[in-house]
Amino acid sequence: MNVNPFRIDVAQAELDVLRDRLTQTRWPAEPPGVGWSRGTPVAYAKELAEHWLTGFDWRAQERRLNELPQFTTVIDGQTIHFVHIRSDDPDARPLLLLHGWPGSFVEFLDVIEPLTKEFHLVIPSLPGFAFSSPLAAPGWTAARMAGAFVELMAVLGYERYGVHGGDTGAFVAPEMGHLAPGRVAGIHLNGVLSFPAGIEGEDEPLSETERRRAADLEEATAGYVPIQSRSPQTLAFGLTDSPAGQLAWIAEIFHRWAGAPIDRDRFLTNVSIYWLTGTAGSSAQIYYEQVNDPMAWVPKPRGTVPTGVLLAGSHEYAIRPYAERDHAIVHWSQKDEGGHFFAMEEPEAFAEDVRRFFTMRSVAVRF
């Protein structure tokens, strides 16, 4: 299997198109006084778009990203893009970092420096996201992604390794544990979702906080999930044609789920990658695949790989009794700060929790 060096090199013509489309944006009307209750406000989107147009420097961000050793390979017919950084520590352990939607490998930029002191890092773009595109075929479920990443780690020569997953990555990482429990030493998750199994009385031991999380999850996913899980291709027409549309679609999720301010240029780097790679539709396909994959809803045996869960201060929906039914939980960390995009919001706290989990005896002895 060929592993090829990769550099981001966006054609100037593409940046000119972005500038022209932002300049010519046809802004929607909105009812007065509704704020964020019906989605991204026009004034907020206009302010972000103006900075994207006049203050944001893609070339500077591109140079920063190209300082990272990036590669591509083809697994199961699909191009896979990844960052691979080897630690100077001869005893470092391999760690795979998996992002979610609407994030990208950019989520982990600020945790690379602290984590490479102890870990070799592999940070891929999920199939259909960023430079792991275009999708070569339908059917890229979380389980299929898991298989691709197990193969990627083998190709890179890592026999045993840890996996962190957030959001979509929090679905993929446990699938890797089911698929290759002898290779995956430990699984660290944030932004994890846990669901009832439909068993009578299973909600009885839930705390008031956990009951509220269950209700909040239904409300939090009521907008974007039905659209992306039913009509990702129709959605793609608007978001692929309008940078303002792509911006507003992602901005709503970051506003609702982030618990701390995120650097505006870092946020726009993430949005720019979606726009410049044209992956609004392909990144949304994972929702369609998961909802329509019968195997995704078949009960699985409880995972055997030691698992840690990090709950940020806000916008978290994990319910411990449900999570413990599905995973071998050995670490449950509650933070007062941050939110769903914890690695971007609180990189030092994120790195420390990852480090603490993978040095636990029950995890460390498996490497």
Report the candidate in 76, 120, 130, 61 with the shortest Cα–Cα distance to residue 275: 130
Strand duo 161-166 + 184-190: pairing: parallel
Residue 32 buriedness (CB in 10 A; 0-12 / 13-18 / 19+): exposed
Both tokens of 334, joined, read: 């509650």
DSSP state of 336: S
Catalytic residue among 315, 317, 340, 353: 340
CA distance 356 to 332: 11
Q: How many CB atoms lie within 10 A of CB 357?
A: 25
287 catalytically annotated: yes
Q: Helices in the chain by DSSP H: which ranges?
A: 12-23, 42-54, 58-66, 112-115, 142-155, 169-179, 208-220, 224-230, 232-241, 243-257, 264-277, 280-292, 320-326, 342-345, 347-358, 361-364
3-state secondary structure of 166: strand
Q: How many residues does the chain have?
A: 367
- What's the token pair of residue 283? 């990144």
Q: 185: helix, coil or strand?
A: strand
Give me the catalytic one of 81, 99, 161, 167.
167
Catalytically annotated residue among 287, 288, 317, 322: 287
For this structure, is 265 an active site residue?
no
Q: What is the DSSP letter of 169?
A: H
Active site residue 167: yes
| Both tokens assigned to 184 | 């995956």
Residues contacting 64, CB < 8 A, separation 6+: 109
Phi, psi of 362 (to 5 degrees): -65, -20
Determine the Cα–Cα distance for residues 227 and 222; give it in Å rounded to an integer.
9
Q: What is the DSSP letter of 3?
A: -
- 29 DSSP assignment: P
Select from 277, 273, 271 the least CA-distant residue to 253.
271
Residues forming the active site: 167, 287, 340
